[in-house]
Amino acid sequence: VQLQASGGGLVQPGGSLRLSCSVSKSTVDHYGVGWFRQAPGKEREGVAGIMMSDGRTWYSESVKDRFTITRDRATTTAYLQMNGVKPEDTAVYFCATGFLSDWKTYGPDDYKLFYWGQGTLVTVSS
């Protein structure tokens, strides 16, 4: 399984950005696709995830009500719409997919469950 992430860049505080994650897998039922991020000097953390089969979503408290994750099953692509970005959203964003029953809070011990894409840098700065 390979993942291709895109869409990072520089955005001003309060602005918007959309990340894309394309999964190279013909069948994604029972797979979740999501985003993690890692800021300088901090641990990787989950941001949002979506189940490809039925669209169930999960968000971290820090991005809930600002970010929206969606998916396109036909193209096996997930999107992260980031609105109202803040400087603390600055990080390298990694998309990931795994054979999951649900998307929830995943920690470092769980990361072996996932296939990972390359990171894309999001910088929020004026």
Q: Note whether 94 and 35 are within 8 A (CB).
A: yes
Mean pLDDT of 69-80: 94
Nearest alpha carbon to residue 89 among 33, 34, 39: 39
Rounded Cα distance between 87 and 76, Å, is: 30
* Tokens at 46, concatenated: 């989950």
pLDDT in tens, 21-61: 999 876 677 889 999 999 999 999 999 999 999 999 999 99
- pLDDT of 27 reads 67
More confident residue, 99 or 89: 89
